[in-house]
Amino acid sequence: MLYYVVAEGRARTLDRLNLRDRATYGLDWMVFYASSARDALRQWEQFKAGTHIGQEDLELEATQYREGRPGYFVTWEAESEAVASKAKDTLEDVEARLRVLEGEREQLIRLRDDLRQAARLVVSRPRLAKSTLGSRSKRTRKGRGRRRTAK
């Protein structure tokens, strides 16, 4: 007879000389004294169904274990913690993306302002060009250019 850790539908021999951290077993696990892995799984099924011969002792042992472990969470508490942690990570990711987008928005605003200023300069230059064209047309009237003939 050996001790078996049953978790996630699998039974593994418990190596008492090299104990793994309990977190590696997941949230729902139990140790059974059994003749084989198959026997340990059978006992697990009985325990879950509430029909195990030593049900009361196993429940008491499980309760004492939970109370004696400050880091232990009941399944729903552990799931709640996992969801909260994921939500926190998601929120941090969204906030980081928001900071990046705000930086890009500021760059776009600066670029827009620069383009407006450049457009103002381009619009004001044709006025100079028009005055230059006007002086050229005055010169053509004085006889330096083609003459217009009346029809």
Domain extent listing, the chain: 2-72, 74-126
Residue-wise pLDDT tens digits, 64-91: 777 776 665 555 566 667 777 888 888 8
Distance from C-alpha of 59 to C-alpha of 71, rounded to nearest angstrom: 19
Residue-wise pLDDT tens digits, 80-123: 677 778 888 888 999 999 999 999 999 999 999 999 998 888 87
Q: Which CA distances in Å does 134 have to 27, 129, 131, 148?
A: 89, 9, 5, 17
Distance from C-alpha of 107 to C-alpha of 109, rounded to nearest angstrom: 5
DSSP H helical segments within the chain, as ranges? Answer: 37-49, 55-68, 75-139
What's the mean pLDDT when you consider all of the chain? 77
Distance from C-alpha of 125 to C-alpha of 150, rounded to nearest angstrom: 35
pLDDT at 135: 57
- Of 43, 60, 56, the C-alpha closest to 1 is 43
